[in-house]
Amino acid sequence: MLKFRYGYKTRITFSENVYSHHFLLRCTPWTNDAQHIIESSCTVLPVGNLTVSNDAFNNTIHAGYIDELHNFFEFESKGVVILSNYYLKEPLNPIFGYPSNYTQPDDNIRRVLEQINLPSDASLIEKVFALSAKIQELIVYQAGVTNIQTTACHALILGKGVCQDYAHVLISLCRLSGIPARYVTGFMQGEGFTHAWIEYYNQGGWYGFDPTHHNAIETGYIKIAHGRDYADCAMDRGVFTGVAQQHLEVYLNVAMEQ
């Protein structure tokens, strides 16, 4: 088991004052078989009405409302977690075996799966590695080409993308292969931004896999939320009244402690 200290901060500066600002945040790590929370806090500025609950997938959510005029919005999540081997024993929710909006396969994705020609006698992890290896051939990591609306099909056509796109394509291929899979967002050791990976179901539980880096996850990843795809796991959603440009600043540090 390893101990990690994390600090995540997002600040949005508005060019003009806004008000009636509703927001929903996912910024608190899970407590599960592989992840034990020692310290955890989430603060929001400006101070407004704030409630803490859980969504349909049991991710912790902070929902709030700021009525007054303000020209910035900031939230910070920090704490300490102990991470062990990445395996989460739980019953399978069948929903993770079916396509979702971001992972709906098209003929192109079906052709890719046919090209891989997974051996029937291969183990599940061997199949996931084979699917991920094909994605490495077809997609080049490049920021600024895709966005939060980009689907697995579109990312594959572009041949470029970021961690969200790698995860969506692998989930689509896994589900098409009969392997239940779900989208995960969180923090990765050494990353300056949030990260996305997948979990695939095998032998009564979930294992982590990072298709962006093409590796099975053992430790060093702090899980914040999971769902069918990005839409279920967005860390920050909000609407406000006003006409303003937004400037986003993000800070993230994940460091192992002795």
- Taking the C-alpha atoms of residue 124 and residue 198, their distance in angstroms, rounded to an integer, is 14
Confidence of residue 160 (pLDDT cuts 50, 70, 90): very high
Segments of the chain assigned to CATH 3.10.620.30: 87-232
143-149 long-range contacts, Cβ below 8 Å, gap at least 24? 148/230, 148/234
pLDDT at 73: 96
- Would the pLDDT of 191 be above 80? no
pLDDT at 216: 97
Please state the length of the chain.
258
Per-residue DSSP letter, 89: E
CA proximity to 113, closest of 125, 121, 105: 105
**What pLDDT, in 10s, does the model give residues 47-73?**
888 999 999 999 999 999 999 999 999
Instruction: Using DSSP, state whether 232 is helix, strand or coil.
Output: helix
**What pLDDT, in 10s, does the model give residues 114-124?**
999 888 899 99
- Would the pLDDT of 1 be above 90? no
**What pLDDT, in 10s, does the model give residues 218-258?**
989 999 999 999 999 999 999 999 999 999 999 999 999 87
- Least confident range of 47-56, 73-82, 197-206: 47-56
* 57 beta partners: none
pLDDT at 117: 86
The number of angstroms, rounded, from the C-alpha of 213 to the middle of its chain's C-alpha atoms is 14
What is the second-level CATH architecture of the domain 2-84+235-257?
A: Sandwich (2.60)
pLDDT at 120: 84
pTM value is 0.95
pLDDT at 198: 98
Segments of the chain assigned to CATH 2.60.40.2250: 2-84+235-257
pLDDT at 2: 93
In this prediction, residues 174-201 reach a mean pLDDT of: 94
Q: For the structural domain made of 87-232, what CATH number should be given?
A: 3.10.620.30
Q: How high does pLDDT run on average in the chain?
A: 95
pLDDT at 190: 83
pLDDT at 249: 94
Confidence of residue 159 (pLDDT cuts 50, 70, 90): very high
